[in-house]
Structure 1
Amino acid sequence: MLQVRDLDVHYGDAQALDRVSFDVAEGSIVAIVGANGAGKTSLIRTIAGMIRPTHGRIGYRGADIAGLPSHRVCNLGIGQVAEGRQVFPTLTVAENLDMGALLPRARAHRDRQLARVFAMFPILEERLKQTAGTLSGGEQQMLAIGRCLMGLPDLVMFDEPSLGLAPAIVHEMLRTIRALNHEGLTCVLVEQNVALSLKLADRAYVLENGRITLAGTGEELLADDRVRQAYLGM
């Protein structure tokens, strides 16, 4: 479904991604794990069309989308739940969700997707008239996911969904990602929480200093001594 080949990204003279290549099969959960500063967010933002790569190919359903503007990438069916949630704090929950449904591909399906979001996150229906900035961190993450789903994506990239959340809420978010995947949504999960990510993933990649250094199934990387020593303290 998604093929990234030899992707380079630079910020001026500084190289953020160096010949990054990986695949995402349709219907799978793929984890990209690594420490802070490894290049994970740069990778997500480049796929999403927010950063233009200096080299490489991003194939989505066979078409090269590298360098396309973000609104076109979204309308092809690639959604993003950004790091830090990035809800519109002065808008209500209802207005935030409506923003997600503005994509041409999604407009005709607004009511159906809204019902889907409320079924998954009933608290959002209760908070419809509340401004997003007054929600708890967990509720804002629910809203960020719900807003993304309003755009009718086929593939969603989750960038650090556990960041700043209490452990119980983190597990709830990961259960939500698993449930969405069971419904047929393809997921790319970018996380510092390596153990939880690898347990969830069908396939996983380790990103270090802008390069993919290890790849395998989630189970294989969980059992890899290098991963255990570097990220799991074992």
Structure 2
Amino acid sequence: MLTIHDLDVFHGDAQALDRVSLDVPEQAIVAIVGANGAGKTSLIRTIAGMHRPAGGTIRFRGRDIAGLPSHEVCNLGIGQVAEGRQVFPTLTVAENLAMGAMIPRARHHRTRNLERVYTMFPRLKERHSQAAGTLSGGEQQMVAIGRCLMGEPELVMFDEPSLGLAPTVVQEVLRTIRDLAEGGLTCVLVEQNVAVSLRLAARAYVLENGRVTLSGTGEELLANDGVRKAYLGL
């Protein structure tokens, strides 16, 4: 579904991504593993159209989308659940979700998609008129995921979805991602809990200093001695 080849990204004079290549198969979870500053968020934002690459290609369903503005990327079917949730704090839950349905591809199915989100996250239906900024961290993450799903994405990129959440909530969020993938959604997962993300992932890539240094199935990377020492403390 998504193929990236020799992607170069700079922030000023600093190179954030150096000839990054990877493939994301349809209806799979692909994990991106790496330390802070490795280039994971730069990769997500470049795919989403928030950064313009200096070189390379990003092909979504065969079309090169590198350099397209973010609203066009979103309307093609690529969604993003950003790090830190980034809900609109003064808007209600319902208003936050409605923001996700503003792109052309999703407008005609707004009611259906809203019911889908409320079925997935019943707590959001209970709190539909509550300001999103007054919700717990876990509930705000539900809003962020739900808002993304309102845009009818075919591929969703999750950037640190468990960051700052209680362990029980983390399990719920990751279970939601697994269920979405089993339901046919393609997922790119950047997650600080490396062990869990590799167990979920059909395929995984290790980013170090902006370069892909290792790739394989989630199970292969989970069993790799270098990965276990660097990211699992084993």
TM-score, normalised to structure 1, is 0.99
For residues 68-217 of structure 1, the aligned pairs below 5 Å read 68-217=68-217
**Identity rate of aligned residues, in percent?**
78
CA deviations 1:38-61 (Å, max 9, x no partner) are: 110000000000000011100000
Structure 2 unmatched runs, 5+: none
For residues 138-178 of structure 1, give each alpha carbon's deviation from its aligned partner in whole angstroms, at most 9, with x where no partner exists: 00000000000000000000000010011111111110000
How far apart are 1:193 and its partner, in Å? 1.3
Q: Distance in 1 between matches of 2:193 and 2:53?
A: 27
Which residue in 1 is equivalent to 2:14?
A: 14
TM-score by length of 2: 0.99
Identify the residue that residue 30 of structure 1 maps to in structure 2: 30
In the TM superposition, residue 191 of structure 1 has moved relative to its aligned partner by 1.4
Matched, 1:218 2:230: no
Q: CA deviation at 1:113?
A: 0.4
Name the counterpart of 1:45.
45
Question: Equivalents in 2 of 1:36, 1:166: separation in Å?
Answer: 21
Secondary structure of 1:212 counterpart: strand
Task: Give the number of aligned pairs.
Answer: 234
Q: How far apart, in 2, do the equivalents of 1:80 and 1:116 lie?
A: 18
Read off the aligned partner of 2:164 and give its amino acid letter: G
Q: 1:228 Cα shift?
A: 0.4
For 1:38 and 1:162, how far apart are their aligned partners in 2?
18
SS of the residue 2:22 aligns to: strand
After superposing on structure 2, the runs of 4+ consecutive aligned residues of structure 1 that deviate more than 3 Å are none
Aligned-residue offset at 1:116: 0.5
CA distance in 1: counterparts of 2:162 and 2:33, whole angstroms: 13
Structure 1: runs of 5+ lacking an equivalent: none
